[in-house]
Structure 1
Amino acid sequence: MSPIVTHAADGALPPTRRPWYLHLYVQVLIAIAAGVLIGHFAPATGEAMKPIGDGFIKLVKMIIAPVIFLTIVTGIAGMRDLAAVGRVAGKAFAYFLTFSTLALIVGLIVGNVLRPGAGLNIDPATLDGGKVAEYAAKAHDATLTGFLLNIIPDTFISGLSEGNILQTLFVAILFGIGLAMIGERGERITHALEDLSLAVFKVVSILMKAAPIGAFGAMAFTIGKYGVGTLANLVALVGTFYLTSLVFVIVVLGLMARVCGFSIFRLIAYLKAELLLVLGTSSSESALPSLIEKMERAGCPRSIVGLVVPTGYSFNLDGTNIYMTLAALFIAQATGVDLSLGQQLLLLAVAMLSSKGAAGVTGAGFITLAATLSIVPSVPVAGMALILGVDRFMSECRSLTNFIGNAVATVVVSRWEGRLDRDQFNAALAGRAVPVDQMPADAVPAE
């Protein structure tokens, strides 16, 4: 099957433009602004909006497993060349390791140069460790062995029903390989699953209509509960983190994008609706199904999208990595702990391992930070109480950076494989592609 054509053919009429207020990103932006106003001027009402945001997140999580399973299975079965599957996975993990390490190093360098925690002179004994006890308890179980064992589901079905992305990925890869190995007899099943994916992606399109409502509820709760004023107390740390993440996206990821022949700014513009949704919900997982769909429509093959995006959500967390080294140094500086170069390198090495278990959900970065500090005793875990009040605001930046990093990884690996449809990709980034929510159900990209 040939890729779909997403731009008007020569002589054909271009797609009809919709009114500006019907675009999803505009609706989400308005909803976020409304949520901020409600949370600020009516905090109690804002806090009461929490079920709305939680409900939307649950709706999205409900569809994530079917999307990942169908995308990966049909992609691998369609490739039939299992050596190609291994090659794609190898390139993806090489990319993940390289850029995750770069993110950790960038956070370490910025923390040492700007020193946002210097001069606070806080006695760790005066901190309320009870506030972070819950996170420390969760981090205690976050061992590398436990993480690896947790990839294997209890049953084949539980890998699809329990909402664990890596378990779904594991089951889907095995099933896709099985279909590819039985040849022609597996083609009937593959075609049936491709038809099923049409319905599943249509459900995704329906759920995305509720994105503005979910973003409104989540933002109203965040501002209502924590208040914009809480940022003032730790503005140096929050500002440093946002600036560092911005530099990483524009410079590091931007250079990678330039080498691969595309603009990071155009890619961000193409994903603006999803990025605003991530901003509103503080969770990159809320936009995962839509990211998979949009990457396919931008000319990335389904088999590569299906492998890179879900694995990237656990192994390519650039924002989380920047946060961990930067926050750890902030706590050390604020509590008067002078870390030697050796101790900082140990911190970086531990963070490289502990970050791989973080999921794309709110609060995962904070738990991963607790796991890292518990292994590096030089920095007091109780010091996390210093940043607990603003972690929710930094969670948004973590999620945004993670999301952009995985989008870039998908395009880069597709190009490395020589399977990126440049015409379709350029049309999408130039805004000539048919919007996702306007495409007919039978136009789901196929290889």
Structure 2
Amino acid sequence: MKTENPNSFNNSIFLKVVTNLTFWVLIAIIVGVLLGHYNPETGVKMKIVGDTFIDIVKVFIAPIIFLTIVLGIAGMGDLKKVGRIGIKSLLYFEVVTTFALAIGVIVAYVIQPGKIDKSGLNIQDASQFTNDPKTEFNWLEFFMANLTLQVLLAAIIFGILLNYYSKREIVVSFLYKCSKIVFKALKFVMYLAPLGAFGGMAYTVGKFGLETLIPLGKLMITVYITMFIFVFAILGSILRYYKIKIWSFIKYMKAELLIVLGTSSSEPALPSLMDKLERIGCSKSVVGLVVPTGYSFNLDGTSIYLSMAIIFLAQLYNVHLTFGEIVTVIGLLMITSKGAAGVTGSGFIVLASTLTAIHKIPLEGLAFLLGVDKFMSEARAITNFIGNGVATIVIAKTEGETIDLENPRALE
């Protein structure tokens, strides 16, 4: 009888740990905090490391926004074939994700995780990002000064026109290949994330002290609590309307949720999710349309996190956002958060593009946020997964299909 070598098992675990990006981000955070605390002068000099990482990420903003928006709109041409199901799905996605964005903003303002004291971090450099309050806000000037918004508008127009082009499939195929190349390049850039986290932490702690770690902890706790409330209060209420219990759905999907928890991504559980939804009564056509589309258009967890992160950074840098600017942030996130699901670093592209557009919050804050981003990915992935399952059940119910979580049927 062959026995497993304990040393081989231990080596396997060690290899998995040391090749995990999260592990190195954590190590970088610890080293950055220690350097900033014990040698503040050197820690402050590490600002260039964090800034360089952010500058590299910024290069990807325009191409990723353009490609994801164009491909998303071009893909809607296929939804025309399925008629009312596609329309109802998109309507549901937009309503729920907008609601999630709004909840993120509201909770962030109520709990104020980014506030250390009445003055926040009181970073003087933040003043250069703030519009002169004596100057009347001008939407045309705001648009003309922001490349992000210009790319966004160009992508929307191009995507719409592309749907009416006779050789649309050739262009879409080319853009899809370009998208894969860009996202693959971004994936390699994200291997530099530990350096970005190190630079951001060393600079922040070196200049402002260990108390800056307090808001990061508050943000993590706030995000998890908010997503828990969203799942059980909001998504639970939606299912309750159709006489389905959210807890029954979670228990039914417990194996898939463990996969999502372990991988910090909802994509590995996608095939099993579709299979199980069909087993409880959702038709193949509804599942085949709603679930894949939802992975780009129905990111409840990501929406909550992104909106909370923007408000968190505003509080951290003591930047006041007007009501109009908050609405602009939500509007931008409604569009830019679509289409980049499950891609490493896509969340930072969305955050960077939004900060660039509103031009009031220093982009260097992303390096600071990078320190805890990895530790909130599980909450985002689980909420996204549950949200897409709920969306599919809702659309199936509106189509008159019978859903039975207690007696899932066997599929041929």
Using the size of structure 1 for normalisation, the TM-score is 0.58
Matched, 1:143 2:140: no
**Pairing partner for 1:326 from 282, 304, 308:** 308
What secondary structure, in the 3-state scheme, does the structure 1 residue paired with 2:338 have?
helix
Of 102, 108, 114, the match for 2:99: 102
Contact kept, 8 Å, 2:273 with 2:389, in 1: the verdict is yes
Q: Name the structure 2 match of 1:357.
A: 339
Match runs of 1:368-379 below 5 Å: 368-379=350-361
Q: Is the 8 A contact 2:260 2:381 kept in 1?
A: yes
For residues 278 and 174 of structure 2, the distance between their equivalents in structure 1, rounded to whole angstroms, comes to: 27
Partners of 1:417 and 1:111 in 2: CA distance: 37
Q: Which residue of 2 aligns with 1:307?
A: 289
CA distances 1:323-356 after superposition (whole Å, capped 9, x unpaired): 1110001101001101122221221111111112
Q: CA contact under 8 A between 2:100 and 2:303: conserved in structure 1?
A: yes
- Classify 1:154/1:418 alpha carbon distance in 2 versus 1 (closer, same or farther; 3 Å): same
Letter in 1 for 2:94: L
RMSD: 3.8
Paired position in structure 2 for 1:93: 90
Q: Match of 2:407?
A: 427
> Is the contact made by 1:111 and 1:326 (CA closer than 8 Å) also made in structure 2?
yes
Q: For each residue in 1:402-435, what CA deviation from the matched residue of structure 2 results, as whole angstroms up to 9, or x when unmatched?
A: 111000000000001102x334x4313xxxx56x
| Paired residue secondary structure (1:327) | helix
> SS of 1:381's equivalent?
coil
User: 1:365 Cα shift?
Assistant: 2.0
Counterpart of 2:114 in structure 1 is: 117
User: Per-residue CA shift, 1:199-226, capped at 9, x if unaligned?
Assistant: xxxxxxxxxxxxxxxxxxxxxxx99xx9
User: How far off its partner does 1:239 sit?
Assistant: 0.7
Label 1:357 to 1:48 Cα distance change in 2 as closer, same or farther (>3 A).
closer
Mapped to 2, the partners of 1:350 and 1:158 lie a distance apart of 26
How far off its partner does 1:108 sit?
Answer: 0.7
CA-to-partner distance for each residue in 1:354-381, whole Å, 9 max, x for gaps?
1123323343222212122111112222
Q: Structure 1 327/417 Cα, relative in aligned 2: closer, same or farther at 3 Å?
A: same
Q: For the residues of structure 2 that align with 1:317 and 1:362, how far apart are their CA atoms?
A: 15
Letter in 1 for 2:300: D
* Alignment partners' CA distance in 2, 1:97 and 1:354: 13
Q: Deviations over 1:93-149 (max 9, x none)?
A: 1110110111011001001000000124152749xxxxxxxxxxxx89973644774
**CA–CA distance in structure 1, aligned partners of residues 289 and 18 of structure 2:** 38
Whether the 8 Å CA contact 1:323–1:398 is kept in 2: the answer is yes
**Partner of residue 19, structure 2:** 48
Distance 1:354 1:159 in 2: 17
Whichever residue aligns with residue 143 of structure 1, its letter is: L
Measure the CA separation in 1 of the matches of 2:340 and 2:172.
23
Measured at CA, do residues 268 and 362 of structure 1 come closer, stay the same or move farther in structure 2, by a change above 3 Å?
farther
- Aligned counterpart, 2:374: 392
Alignment-mate amino acid for residue 355 of structure 1:
S
- Report the Cα distance in structure 2 between the residues aligned to 1:374 and 1:153, rounded to whole angstroms: 33
What is the CA–CA distance in structure 2 between the aligned matches of 1:341 and 1:268, rounded to whole Å? 37
Give percent identity, aligned residues only.
Answer: 43
Contact map agreement 2:291 2:392 (CA 8 A) in 1: yes
8 Å contact kept, 1:124–1:383? no
C-alpha separation in 2, matches of 1:282 and 1:259: 30
The equivalences for 1:172-183 within 5 A come to none
Provide the rounded CA distance (Å) in 2 between the counterparts of 1:249 and 1:264: 8
1:262-321 CA deviation, whole Å, 9 max, x = no partner? 111111111112111111112111211221111111210000011101111111111111
Distance 1:163 1:411 in 2: 31
- One-letter amino acid matched to 2:152: T
Q: 1:305 to 1:336 in 2, by over 3 A?
A: same
Q: 5 Å matches for 1:134-173?
A: 143=152, 145-146=154-155, 149=159, 154=170
Structure 1's 140 and 258: CA in aligned 2 closer, same or farther, altered over 3 A? same
Work out the CA distance in 1 between the residues paired with 2:307 and 2:276: 32
Spell out, residue by residue over 1:75-101, the C-alpha distance to the aligned partner (whole angstroms, 9 max, x if none).
x9xxxxx99921111111111011011
Residue pair 1:249, 1:401 contacting (<8 A) in 2 also: yes
5+ residue gaps, structure 2, are: 1-8, 22-77, 127-147, 181-192, 199-211
Alignment match, 1:317: 299
> What is aligned with 1:129?
none
Equivalent residues, number: 293
CA distance in 2, matches of 1:310, 1:141: 28
Tell me how far 1:246 sits from its aligned partner. Answer: 0.7
C-alpha distance after superposition, 1:181-209 (max 9, x if no partner):
xxxxxxxxxxxxxxxxxxxxxxxxxxxxx
- Please say if residues 80 and 86 of structure 2, whose CA atoms lie closer than 8 Å, have aligned partners that are also in contact: no
Deviation at 1:400, TM superposition (A): 1.1
Verify the 8 A CA contact 1:278 1:287 in the aligned structure 2: yes
1:260, distance to aligned residue in structure 2 (A): 1.2
Paired position in structure 2 for 1:289: 271
- Deviation of 1:162 after TM superposition, in Å, equals 8.9
Aligned partners of 1:354 and 1:368 also within 8 Å: yes
